[in-house]
Amino acid sequence: MKFAAYVLPVLFVAAILAAAIRRVRVYDSFAAGAAGALPLLKSLFPYIAAVLILSELFEASGLSQAFAKALSPLFTAVGIPTELSSLVLVKPFSGSGSLALVSDVCARYGADSYIARCACVLYASGETVFYVSAIYFSRDRGKNALPVLLALVANFCAAAAGCFFCRLF
């Protein structure tokens, strides 16, 4: 998919050119937008830090493996290979952590094996729920339990569905 690489640069150049033709003061306008970056980060950072510290503890303590072991009968029941249960658990907490697990699975079982394909599909479908919630719900406290729960349920169904689709294709 070579053409994908062209989308972004072409989009940027075209938009900047078209804006200039429409007599937008592009430089001032860009700077005005970019000015919002640091205040945005300042308000997000405490929550990102809290979530990432928590997910690091979760993994380092071995709690995530313990959970994975306890829940593996459930995973087997919905058709998710047990080898992937820790991936399913880490996924909502840490994008980089789950990516590490995916590459580990690819190396161990071969990238084209059923398990590796399932792992890739798991990684590619669904966001890092707690991370997204840290960013999107940073300002309000305590109101995000329901959205997070719904998203987790939906993504878990997607994980099961993904493993099923891997068998079809």
**10 is a site residue for other proteins (CB under 8 A):** no
One of 13, 50, 70, 78 touching other proteins (CB under 8 A): 50
**71 is a site residue for other proteins (CB under 8 A):** no
User: 138, 47 in Cβ contact below 8 A?
Assistant: yes
**74 is a site residue for other proteins (CB under 8 A):** no
- Residue 103 beta carbon to other proteins: minimum distance, rounded to whole angstroms: 6
One of 10, 13, 32, 78 touching other proteins (CB under 8 A): 32
How far, in Å, CA of 108 to CA of 100, rounded?
12
Task: Give Cβ neighbours of residue 81 (< 8 Å, ≥ 6 apart).
Answer: 75, 114, 115, 118, 163
**77 is a site residue for other proteins (CB under 8 A):** no
Residues binding other proteins: number (CB under 8 A): 90
**115 is a site residue for other proteins (CB under 8 A):** no
User: 134, 101 in Cβ contact below 8 A?
Assistant: no
